[in-house]
């Protein structure tokens, strides 16, 4: 695997290192030792998939708070998404900064999302499927969300939002502590 740290410390792009021949290729998508070597949590407590019918479907912005804060490894296995993370760590020098990346079945790139980062995406194609490996189980009492258009996030979404859950659309804007 090829790990590239983003401008948000602790967040990484994880690309496959293909070993190919006339059959196709083989590549690792997860290795505990390699994740540990980069200072990342190799714990996988839960794996999930999300399927989306139409382009323009938005899911986000979600995170969990301690003691159930979770790291995520996100990969698009069918179609393409515009994946966005926002640093919510209050003492971070990159607090409230975001990065976005296209994850697709074609580029096979994954995004490692550290704990205390909000995460969301919009689908760029119909029939998308996303896989998640999480370091903590889903914990409804520790789940948090913020509106995808929160001014504090300043996210530029590349396509119009065609579908969004009632819960995500009704989420309050993210409030910066002390304001």
CATH number at residue 93: 2.60.120.10
| CA–CA distance, 43 with 131 (Å, rounded to integer) | 16
CA–CA gap between residue 31 and residue 2 (Å, rounded): 11
To the query of whether residue 62 is one of the catalytic residues in this protein, the response is yes
Report how far residue 5's alpha carbon sits from residue 101's, in angstroms, rounded to the nearest whole number. Answer: 13
Phi, psi of 34, deg, nearest 5: -70, -35
Pick the catalytic residue from 38, 95, 132, 142: 132
Per the annotation, the verdict on 174 as an active-site residue is no
Q: What is the pLDDT of residues 61-81, one digit of tens each?
A: 999 999 999 999 999 999 999
Domain presence at residue 70:
yes
pLDDT of residue 179: 52
**Which pLDDT score is estimated for 177?**
73
Structural domain includes residue 107: yes
Using a pLDDT cut of 70, give the percent of the chain over it.
99
pLDDT of residue 164: 98
User: Does some domain include residue 94?
Assistant: yes
Total number of domains in the chain: 1
What confidence score (pLDDT) does residue 95 get?
97
Q: 122 pLDDT exceeds 70? A: yes
Q: Residues 84-94: what's their mean pLDDT?
A: 97
β-strands 57-64, 163-164 pairing: parallel
Sign of CA dihedral 159, 86, 142, 145: negative
Q: At residue 141, what are phi and psi to the nearest 5 degrees?
A: -75, -15
In-domain check, residue 160: yes
179 found inside a domain = no
Q: What is the mean pLDDT of residues 136-144?
A: 97
Per-residue pLDDT, averaged over 84-101, amounts to 97
Catalytic residue among 51, 62, 119, 174: 62
Domain that holds residue 69: 2-170
> Dihedral sign, CA of 29, 32, 34, 37?
positive
Residue 87 in this model has a pLDDT that exceeds 90: yes
Residue 66, Cβ neighbours under 10 Å: how many? 9
* Share of the chain residues as helix, strand and coil, in percent rounded to the nearest 5: 10, 40, 50
Average pLDDT score over the chain: 96
Determine, yes or no, domain membership for 140. Answer: yes
User: Residue 130 pairs with which residues in a beta bridge?
Assistant: 50, 76
- What confidence tier does 178 reach under pLDDT thresholds 50, 70, 90? low
Q: Are strands 46-52 and 128-134 parallel, antiparallel or unpaired?
A: antiparallel
Residue 116 has pLDDT above 60, yes or no: yes
């Amino acid at each position: 695997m090829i790990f590239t740290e983003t401008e948000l410390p602790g967040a990484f792009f994880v690309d496959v290192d293909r070993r190919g021949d006339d059959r196709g290729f083989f590549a690792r998508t997860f290795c505990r030792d390699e994740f540990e070597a980069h200072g990342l949590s190799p714990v996988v407590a839960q794996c999930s998939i999300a399927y989306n019918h139409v382009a323009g479907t938005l899911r986000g912005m979600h995170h969990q708070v301690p003691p159930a804060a979770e790291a995520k490894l996100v990969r698009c296995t069918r179609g393409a998404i515009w994946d966005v993370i926002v640093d919510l760590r209050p003492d971070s020098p990159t607090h409230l900064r975001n990065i976005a990346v296209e994850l697709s079945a074609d580029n096979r790139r994954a995004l490692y999302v550290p704990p205390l980062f909000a995460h969301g995406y919009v689908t760029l194609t119909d029939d998308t499927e996303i896989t998640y490996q999480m370091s903590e189980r889903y914990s409804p009492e520790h789940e948090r969300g913020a509106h995808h258009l929160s001014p504090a996030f300043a996210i530029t979404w590349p396509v119009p939002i065609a579908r969004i859950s009632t819960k995500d659309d009704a989420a309050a804007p993210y409030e910066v502590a002390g304001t």
